[in-house]
Structure 1
Amino acid sequence: MRRRKKRRREKRRGRRKKEERREEEEEKRGRGRKEEES
């Protein structure tokens, strides 16, 4: 239920927040892959 409230806040602020979160998630995944390779 708390997550739903967060989603409503994102809609109020705009879609840019969602895009930023997606970029952060991609960066975290990329870092994890780099660590596995090294």
Structure 2
Amino acid sequence: MLSASKGILEIISQEWLSGMYDVLRPKVSSLRGSLQKHS
């Protein structure tokens, strides 16, 4: 029982992290672009 819930938690956290990565990646790339323009 415990190991099953742990596996589910790992799957959820991986899905969440990949979702956050997809959300943050465009912001990071745009930030990087604006920084390169300034320097």
TM-score by length of 2: 0.60
Structure 1 residue 35 corresponds to structure 2 residue 25 = no
1:3-22 correspondence runs (5 A): 15-22=1-8
- Which structure has the larger Rg? 2
Of structures 1 and 2, the one with the larger relative CO (CA 8 A, separation 6+) is 1
What is the alpha-carbon root mean square deviation over aligned residues? 0.3
Sequence identity (%): 4
| Counterpart-to-counterpart distance in 1, 2:21 and 2:5 | 25
Moved over 2 A (4+): none
> 1:18 Cα shift?
0.1
TM-score by length of 1: 0.62
Structure 1 residue 24 corresponds to structure 2 residue 14 = no
